Structure 1
Amino acid sequence: MLKGYQGMVDGGANIAEADWESVSSILQVGGTIIGSARCQAFRTREGRLKAACNLLQRGITNLCVIGGDGSLTGANLFRKEWSGLLEELAKNGQIDKEAVQKYAYLNVVGMVGSIDNDFCGTDMTIGTDSALHRIIEVIDAIMTTAQRYLALVSALACGADWVFLPESPPEEGWEEQMCVKLSENRARKKRLNIIIVAEGAIDTQNKPITSEKIKELVVTQLGYDTRVTILGHVQRGGTPSAFDRILASRMGVEAVIALLEATPDTPACVVSLNGNHAVRLPLMECVQMTQDVQKAMDERRFQDAVRLRGRSFAGNLNTYKRLAIKLPDDQIPKTNCNVAVINVGAPAAGMNAAVRSAVRVGIADGHRMLAIYDGFDGFAKGQIKEIGWTDVGGWTGQGGSILGTKRVLPGKYLEEIATQMRAHSINALLIIGGFEAYLGLLELSAAREKHEEFCVPMIMVPATVSNNVPGSDFSIGADTALNTITDTCDRIKQSASGTKRRVFIIETMGGYCGYLANMGGLAAGADAAYIFEEPFDIRDLQSNVEHLTEKMKTTIQRGLVLRNESCSENYTTDFIYQLYSEEGKGVFDCRKNVLGHMQQGGAPSPFDRNFGTKISARAMEWITAKLKEARGRGKKFTTDDSVCVLGISKRNVIFQPVAELKQQTDFEHRIPKEQWWLKLRPLMKILAKYKASYDVSDSGQLEHVQPWSI
């Protein structure tokens, strides 16, 4: 359907059949290739009557609508009126009675495509992550930003000094508070202040707060040189991020399954994301709640507005408030507890954001925070220093690991580490890292019998590009690596558009874990992805070559194949390259590319900055709760639930005892025995035009929208 509802009303060439090739090579294209338009005609019954007639002429009774709440509300109204529209068309003689019976029901499923992420019932709408990329690129470039959810999350991702949101207006006297905060930050040698204003920001009296008003205030009160940058439609453009591509692909499949399963009694639904789990929600319940948010704001019930926006928004707001504003020292109750933070394993983008969050939440909870430098190696040597609130300023957007990180395990240094724990009176330990951090936590837990110094709460936050830590669907750093892979694949594919008939073999990192190869393949539109978790042989390679040979006969004369670095001992990148080169002679030529350590570097993506910030804050809350439990009793922690891995599983944040995770781990290959993303393997194959069956057992079921309680 070209040009949205306008195309549906106008009919004719605007309703065209889509074939396989018409939607090839569009993953990396921003905006919409089929067009979209605001349509006044569809708001009238006459317009909807024309639209119904145009659909019936082509026998269309299933609609998948991608858009914001306006588009989805229109689709629901259209569905409600459908039988009446059919009767009217029959009465006018435009269709016969048989057609009325044959096309009696219209099935509608919605996918929320909106950069504002203001649709209730879903954690992330399609386009939001890409818009965040644009905002963070601008902030990183001039070290300045827009829009409700976007404003809040970008403030979290860049460590902004102040943020103005319509749902959470500043209290009376905010002008003075903001100026004090800005001058305090300058006094701490922060040379640049960032204030983020969402479009539609208001005060508690519903009066607008504009960027110009704030600039005037800062200039007159503080005399600072102030610049305003309005991002506007920059946020809508650009290449879609890896997250948005995967989200849109997953939701597209969910939408088709929902339409295939629909019955005349099924309400129009929206496919959406709750945590990492796909769900279906009644369309009108979501629209109603979205309208309730606006109503609550109009009536100045701001607490209700935040509650209705959902737990993701409320959680982000709460975390931002805790990290942005430091209470005076005399207002923070001291716990006399020392909490240490350590990075272990290979560097991952977002580690620094996690450390910053842990340090600031720990200080706000009254703990003395200690930083351990250079992993367990540095721990054994006593490279431990107290770290303060201002020490971690500006860390959010920095890649790598500022504390330093090593793959060294604590096993051979247990005596020395225990001595350092005793010398620095460490009461709790937060480990941020990859599989080595997980192994290290197991070793420290096992050493409790010999060394009572390890009888303290210990928690691990997964941070590795490989995403191979048991107990969590996601790891800090994996999203940044995926974006690097996707961006590189886009460039490589573009280079082939001039050459034609070329196949690229790309090697990704990840050890034995195929997450990057599989999800990178899905995001970049690969023809195949070879991974360790799904064994393959020479017949599979031969089949892929034949498939690409057939592809070269179409208008899409290029191929992309991803290979995980440890997917096979003998079918190496060189072997696959040579095989493809030989078998493709005369049909296509072949090139290979090993991406290497560029996947570990670069500035963290908005997702990794925010994931690292939020999950680390949750880890510190867990530590504080455990230490409170033991206060005044000198309690030793010896139970399994005092040594945990903090992770995300489907829609929940869970604290899993490391002892329980042992059974779920393949230690030889350093991967979890069960991995959620393997269910998306068939999707990649189907999208590459292979015959494959898709497992619908994990598809979303229809649920009701539950307003989150604060």
Structure 2
Amino acid sequence: MTTIIGVMTSGGDSPGMNAAVRAVVRRAIDRGIRVWGIFDGYEGLVQGGDHIRLLKWGDVGGILQKGGTFLGTARSDLFRTKEGRRLAALNLLKAGIEALIVIGGDGSLMGAHVLSSEWPEHVADILTNHSDLESRQENPVLKIVGLPGSIDNDLHGTDMSIGADTALNHIVRAIDNLASTAASHQRTFVVETMGRHCGYLALAASLAGGASWVLVPEEELELRWHQKMVASIEKSRQLGRPHQMIIVAEGARHADGLLISSSEIRKILSERLGIDVRVTVLGHVQRGGSPSAFDRLLATRLGVAAVDLLVNEPNRPHSHMIGLIKNRVVATPLVEVVEKSQAVRQEIENGNYGKALELRGESFRYYLDLVKTLTRITPAQERSADGAVAILTAGADAPGMNAAVSVAARCLLNHGVPVYGSRDGFYGLIRDDFVELDWHEMVSWVNRPASEIGTARFTFEESDFPKIAANISKRQIRALIAIGGLGTYLKIRQITEMRHRYDALNIPMIILPATIDNNLPCTEFSIGSDTALNNIVEAVDKIRHTAGATRRTFIVEVMGRECGFLALMGAMASGAEKAYLPEIGISLADLNRDVEIMKESFSRGKRMFIYLRNEQSSYHYTTDFICRLFEEESKGLFEVRTAILGHLQRGGIPSAFDRITASRMGAEAAFALLKAMEEEKTTVQVLGLRGRGLTIVPIEEALGEMDLKRGRPREEWFMRLLEVAETLAKQGPPECE
């Protein structure tokens, strides 16, 4: 069994690396493994000495919310030589390290793979000159587990790499900020993103930011591509759009392989159109700052899985990378990761852009096709007179609803189908209160919070159904998209149950999950939940800033109804000590145990405890009750405060993840209804996101997965992470302090 491991970060830093290191260290210590931290990447591994230090439980406290990597990182020219790698092997042998967990990009993982493959040779050579290390010969294999740490998101074997989501949020916020100044001056902006040979950041930012044009390395451009771009921007200005935003990846190329620079694009547009064009090169701001909730959770899950892989399969000569594919942790052979990741780069260098695009995978090609549709100046087809599609948002608003409406509407309009927005949800269907959605207006909706067409909670009366049927007939509505939470699902089912009485209700319908609670069936993520999670994490981070003032315990109440997603994932992402969940409940014994833990920890020098409490985790043990109980039992040792976040959680600009999820769902809903209308089907379906794949199931099948009494799915995927959350949040064994 592996008893000593090393952990290091290498290459360019990425937000979330600290979360990964924290997870590795604490999971390893909890499973009886000692952990050496290797500071300053491969350079530190080569130098040895004070660059390799034993890490204890408390050493990784308070780093979860910090950007960069507290281990430091550096690219090492010496490690690229065999002599340098021999020095690295010597230092690993001196520390007794049997396995190495490397967090970094393809170059870092390749370095680890090479060191592992050369290991027997290095050991044999070292032992001839260091007889004192002969006991290390018992471990002739250096096990390697890689974690994908790169904002570029260019690694095979994972859907997302650590840091990519944070970088994408930085880019999207920059685009949002630039849009306001661009509109004020009627300017065109060229925004250059990072990514090296990968266009993920530029492509995803274009989808989430409502760009006018995008250039990525994987797309094969025509010789005169710039003429189309100029014509598109000119037409956009003629139609009165207030601004234009062009996103260019730093690795984008002409057809002949020469790089396209942002200054070149500015020159083309300003000379041919005589307009004011500004360039913004985002640069390293993309990799800085505190990691997003998604990156913290991703890094935590992967770090824990890396340690578990070494412990659970001790006899396997590991050389793998741990990634997340379809929301499931997957181990891929390191050599496959490196070869396939570098193959894309090589195809781009060779000018085989079509092959590079193919190697990026189906989802990348889907994004590119969708962006091409959404950046059109006008729909591809003329408006048809053969009926329309209605879209409504219902129930509580959720960040990202507008993106779903915008993309669904434009995909339908692109096929010539008129689209009506039902004002204030189901009220619009009853009152015949519709607004026809316009292609040009929809472009600016993707980043807007709440719902532009309005949303409201509502209860049907018997007299409402004939009105709905009459208005559907009057407007020639042939299909319906409903966006909302569980109440929306149940109301759509009520409408379908009246079909035998009102023939006009026999139209295809599809429901998109949108609620911050993330308590809906057939989907692992609902629109709005990521924004809410980030709001919670940011609030808890700010609470932590008061840590030095005095000994305090904070009880932070979060939403979620009877679903503990926000509480549990918020606790994991913020480093809170515990989450009180409705799935488990709260007992007096639990609270007494928590009091004793706090007393002991505060006595040993701890400054702050944070507990997250779901709003419905207990009917009797309310946030106020727990506060007063803790305060009474503290006997003056510590103070207790509450923070009820309330509607702060559902407010603000939607996160990049929510915008992209909403855009994908909106597009898929539109395509599903186009097919249903063509085939004259009247199915009522629910759309969801499981892993990275979109699924569509009949409404009855979806509701069959629900515990309707408690308003949550019977099986909740995130509850599998409860044990991980509890392990990493505890105070650690005394000998590790």
Shorter-chain TM-score category?
A: over 0.9
Which of residues 70, 73, 87 in structure 1 aligns to 2:107?
Answer: 70
How many pairs does the alignment contain? 680
Gaps of 5+ in 2: 1-37, 180-190
SS at match of 2:281: coil
- Does residue 161 of structure 1 match 2:212? yes
Q: Does 1:204 align with 2:269?
A: no
Contact preservation (8 Å) 1:277, 1:651: no
Aligned pairs for 1:312-391 (under 5 A) are: 312-326=363-377, 331=381, 334=384, 336-391=386-441
Shift of 1:184: 1.8
Mark the CA change 1:337 to 1:92 in structure 2 (over 3 Å): closer, same or farther.
Answer: farther
Q: In structure 2, what is the equivalent of residue 120 of structure 1?
A: 156
Question: 2:532: which partner in 1?
Answer: 481
Q: CA deviation at 1:92?
A: 2.3
Match among 325, 328, 331 for residue 277 of structure 1: 328
Aligned partner of 2:522 among 455, 464, 471: 471
Residue 675 of structure 1: aligned partner: 716
Q: Hey, what does 2:235 align to over in structure 1?
A: 184
Report Cα offsets for 1:14-63 as digits up to 9, x if no partner.
11111111100111100000101101111111111111111111211111
Which residue of structure 1 lines up, in the alignment, with residue 618 of structure 2? 568
Alignment partner, residue 612 of structure 1: 662
Task: Write the deviation string for residues 269-303 of structure 1: whole angstroms up to 9, x where unpaired.
Answer: 11111121211111111111111111211222212
**Displacement of 1:173:** 2.2
How many angstroms does 1:120 deviate by?
1.8
Between 1:70-79 and 1:445-454, the stretch displaced more is 445-454
The residue that corresponds to 1:655 in the other structure is 696
Match of 2:265 among 214, 224, 227: 214
Paired position in structure 2 for 1:695? none
Among 590, 615, 619, the residue aligned to 2:640? 590
> In the TM superposition, what whole-angstrom CA distance separates every residue of 1:520-565 from its partner, at most 9, and x where no partner exists?
1111101111111112201011111211222223443101011111
Q: Distance in 2 between matches of 1:186 and 1:15?
A: 59
Q: Contact 2:554 / 2:609 at 8 angstroms: preserved in 1?
A: yes
Q: C-alpha displacement at 1:690, in angstroms?
A: 6.6
Offset, 1:391: 2.2
For 2:130 and 2:289, the matched residues in 1 are separated by 47
Question: 2 CA distance for matches of 1:127 and 1:94?
Answer: 43
**Alignment correspondent of 1:442:** 493
Alignment partners' CA distance in 2, 1:479 and 1:417: 33
- Alignment-derived partner of residue 706 in structure 2: 665
**Structure 2 partner of 1:26:** 63
Residue 650 of structure 1 aligns with an amino acid whose one-letter code is: G
Amino acid in structure 2 at the alignment position of 1:106:
L
How much does 1:348 deviate?
0.7
**Aligned counterpart in structure 2 of residue 395 of structure 1, from 433, 440, 445:** 445
Structure 1: which amino acid aligns with 2:226?
Answer: E
Measured in 2, the distance between the counterparts of 1:171 and 1:336 equals 36
Q: Report the AA paired with residue 227 of structure 1.
A: R
Q: Distance in 2 between matches of 1:455 and 1:38?
A: 63
How many Å apart are 1:500 and its aligned residue? 2.8
Equivalent residues of 2:192, 2:250 under 8 A apart: no
CA distance in 1, matches of 2:250, 2:716: 40
Name the TM-score, length of structure 2 as normaliser. 0.90
Question: How far did 1:359 drift?
Answer: 0.6
1:58 and 2:102 matched: no
- Deviations 1:504-532 (Å, cap 9, x if unpaired)? 11111111111111111111101111111
Deviations 1:229-254 (A, max 9, x none): 11111111111000000110111111
Does structure 2 retain, via aligned residues, the 8 Å contact 1:121–1:310?
no
Residue aligning to 1:521: 571
Describe the superposition over 1:589-630 as per-residue Cα deviations: whole angstroms up to 9, x where unpaired: 111011011111110001111111111101111111111222
Report the equivalent of 1:688.
Answer: 729
SS in structure 2 of the partner of residue 487 of structure 1: helix
Q: Please report how far the alpha carbon of residue 336 of structure 1 lies from its aligned counterpart in structure 2 after TM superposition.
A: 2.2
Q: Kindly state the Cα deviation for residue 335 of structure 1 after the two structures are TM-superposed.
A: 8.0
Partner of 1:707: none
Kept in 2, the 8 Å contact 1:135–1:145? The answer is: no
Preserved contact between residue 105 and residue 264 of structure 1 (Cα < 8 Å) = no
Which amino acid in structure 1 is aligned with residue 393 of structure 2? N
The alignment partner of 1:370 has SS state of strand
CA distance in 1, matches of 2:86, 2:550: 46
Aligned match for 2:145, one of 92, 109, 125: 109
Percent of aligned pairs with the same amino acid: 40
How far off is 1:188 after superposition? 2.5
Q: Which segments of structure 1 move beyond 6 Å, counting only runs of 4 or more?
A: none
Give the whole-Å Cα distance in 2 for the aligned partners of 1:662 and 1:234: 44
Q: Secondary structure at the match of 2:231?
A: helix
Structure 1 residues 31 and 461: alpha-carbon distance in aligned structure 2, compared to 1, 3 A threshold: same
One-letter identity of the residue aligned with 1:320 = V
Matched residue, 1:43: 80
What is the match of residue 185 of structure 2? none
CA spacing shift, 1:411–1:624, aligned 2, 3 Å: farther
> Match for 1:549 among 599, 610, 620?
599
Segment drifting more, 567-576 vs 336-345? 336-345
SS in 1 for 2:54: coil
Equivalent residue in structure 2 for 1:415, among 466, 470, 473: 466
Structure 1 position 85 matched with structure 2 position 85: no
Choose 72-81 or 50-59, whichever is displaced more.
Answer: 50-59
CA contact (8 A) 1:271 1:281 kept: yes
Find the counterpart in structure 1 of residue 290 from structure 2: 239
Q: Is the 8 A contact 1:410 1:444 kept in 2?
A: no
Alpha-carbon distance in structure 1 between the residues aligned to 2:651 and 2:730: 33
Q: Which moved more, 1:215-224 or 1:240-249?
A: 215-224
Show the counterpart of 2:551. Answer: 501
Aligned to 1:225: 276
CA deviations 1:65-93 (Å, max 9, x no partner) are 00000000010111111111111111223
User: What is residue 633 of structure 1 aligned with on the other side?
Assistant: none
Matched, 1:405 2:458: no
By how many angstroms is 1:337 displaced?
Answer: 3.7
Q: How many angstroms apart in 2 are the aligned matches of 1:555 and 1:131?
A: 36
Partner Cα separation in structure 1 for residue 101 and residue 95 of structure 2: 16
**In 2: Cα distance, 1:199 partner to 1:19 partner:** 40
8 A contact 2:528–2:654 mirrored in 1: yes
Structure 1: segments with no counterpart, 5+ residues: 631-635, 693-710
